[in-house]
Structure 1
């Protein structure tokens, strides 16, 4: 990706392109019976979504397996699993995009910048869908898990924690705060702390009452978890 400079020259910079591809969803291999991707199942799931009045209900995933000789039943079984993976990935995409949009004020500081949205234009012969993508600023940093404690400036951490503490008021709960998605950049001499990966986030819906939302955000405990992680790295924070 490039952007024009004031002199009219192109300046190259690195980005992260996050592809929401159901083919690589962890849920495929998280159970005893692996649910491998096939083009046929993806095509059948797409055909089902195109049917008038189609509404996905994951209750079908808990039905008994078809008889061994029921070929159509097994085709439908595979298509239903593919349908489920598709909807899970679309949900992750929609949630992460909405979270970054609601937290726009922190892009470029406590969050990576969201630079663009789009779809992965896959050859039709190899895929039935074009997975959505988000384009992010590349953060050349080190996770809090790997960083040397002496490189951590408490002022950076205070800014990050202060931002995280406002997420709920902006209608977002990260819901997956751990030591792998808190980054410090640049790697050699960090000047900025960033929290990444909002794919598991919860975004407040209009139908959710303020009371229920506060309880949900309290349960997820973003602010509490980030303090625990920082304390484990030896960072002492003032009362915020």
Structure 2
């Protein structure tokens, strides 16, 4: 698991969430561990009422892609310097994963530039994950509140420490006794639901 600074995402911590219209303050109840493609937190906000909700933060700093799949592959820990350099790249500087594995000159400038390219890759990947989940919920709007949780908000997080980005995030309805569809017996799901799901998923690529 990616290293998490002590106290970060602990119970009682407050997080500022911004949309195009307003700012919300969330208080953490507990995190859902481990973090993979997003930081998932159980939170509450006075602005949304007394019910707990789920906050998913697509922060490349905690992306599980940073963890090497084998000991022979180096880890790619987050640094503020690399994030700043990645954000400062002219548009189009990073556009292909092949750039990450090109031959690397043995000098500090080249090493720093490669670290920034990796950071640009992680930022791009986190953004893609956010956009994909947001689009999925929008396509599945007819199933929200019945088969899947409701998508309540989309926006970004105002980091409490120094950052070069504001990680995108979504807020979902929390269903404490929910069962994942993959854990539901096939015979317990009506055929009409499978048909609806298949039709909607097919529409993602059309």
TM range (shorter): 0.5 to 0.7
What is the RMSD of the two structures over their aligned residues, measured on CA atoms? 2.7
Query: What's the CA shift string for 1:85-118, capped at 9, x where partnerless?
Result: 0001101111111111111111111221000011
Distance 1:61 1:3, change over 3 A: closer
Name stretches of at least 5 consecutive residues in structure 1 with no aligned partner: 5-10, 173-203, 205-212, 214-240
2:142 alignment counterpart: 105
Q: Residue 136 of structure 1: CA displacement?
A: 0.4
Distance 1:84 1:90 in 2: 10
2:87 alignment counterpart: 46
Distance 1:155 1:45, change over 3 A: same
2:94 alignment counterpart: 56
1:133 alignment counterpart: 169
Q: How many residues align?
A: 158
Pick the aligned partner of 1:91 from 128, 144, 149.
Answer: 128
**8 A contact 1:110–1:159 mirrored in 2:** no
Structure 1 residue 161 corresponds to structure 2 residue 161: no
Name stretches of at least 5 consecutive residues in structure 2 with no aligned partner: 1-44
Structure 1 residue 27 corresponds to structure 2 residue 27: no
Query: What's the CA shift string for 1:8-38, capped at 9, x where partnerless?
Result: xxx4101100000111112111342111111
Bigger-Rg structure (1/2) = 1
